[in-house]
Amino acid sequence: MLGRYRESLPEERRVLFDRYEFVDVAIKVVGIGSVGTVCGVILLLAGGEDPLFLQIKQARASVLEPYAGASALANHGERVVVGQRIMHAASDVFLGWTVTDAGRQFYVRQLHDAKIKPMIEIFDRQALIDYARVCGHALARAHARSGRAALVAGYMGKNAAFDHAVARFALEYADQVERDQARLVAAIRAGRVEATVTP
């Protein structure tokens, strides 16, 4: 698997990767978004003080395949990696893909031990507006890199119809989330759903 992963890296990154030696691998307990897939962490070392942790995540067919058709890429890990390289201004230098002898397809990236997560629950109105603007800018930039930006811009036109449609969808979706949450709480209180609280 590691040999196949190495081949997915650009030549200059293979030079960096070749400094490391495999030490160990462990299965990783995944979050909700990855339930049902195989995830793991690989430890490699370049000397005793230079560890490299790689995360391997199983890649399956896109949920959009039934509607948009199959990917031109045979390996779903490669499909994920190519998508990330297109959309991200700077992607992980060790981003790659591999496949097991049994045919399971994976993408590989560095495992970072910290994630910066804004605490939006303590934002005031202006901070939330500013954060939404930054997120929108990042998303728009990524999509501009991934397709035909001029064609999309031409399709959307110069008026605010698209903006209003997205805002209307967001408000309706927020209302739906509140309704779903209320139904969940009611089901928990009625004993139809068991809930546990973890610290």
> pLDDT for 79-99, tens place per residue?
999 988 888 877 789 999 999
Q: How many CB atoms lie within 10 A of CB 154?
A: 10
CA angle, 108 as apex, 149 and 31 as ends, to 5°? Answer: 90
Is there a domain that residue 86 lies in? yes
Is there a domain that residue 26 lies in? yes
At residue 119 the predicted structure's pLDDT band, cuts being 50, 70 and 90, is confident
What pTM, to 2 d.p., does this model score? 0.70
The domain boundary residue, chosen from 54, 88, 110: 110
pLDDT at site 113:
59
pLDDT at site 117:
78
Same domain for 103 and 28: yes
**Dist. CA 134–CA 87, nearest whole Å:** 16
- Per-residue pLDDT at 33 exceeds 90: no
- Per-residue pLDDT at 198 exceeds 70: no
Nearest alpha carbon to residue 45 among 37, 32, 54, 36: 54
H or E segment and range at residue 21: strand 21-27
Same domain for 139 and 70: no
Most confident of 31-35, 107-111, 162-166: 107-111
Is there a domain that residue 100 lies in? yes
Q: How many CB atoms lie within 10 A of CB 50?
A: 10
Same domain for 124 and 62: no
- Per-residue pLDDT at 161 exceeds 70: yes
Residue 84, domain extent: 2-110
Same domain for 87 and 39: yes
pLDDT at site 48:
77
Tokens 């045979």 belong to 74
Is there a domain that residue 194 lies in? no
The number of domains in the chain is 2
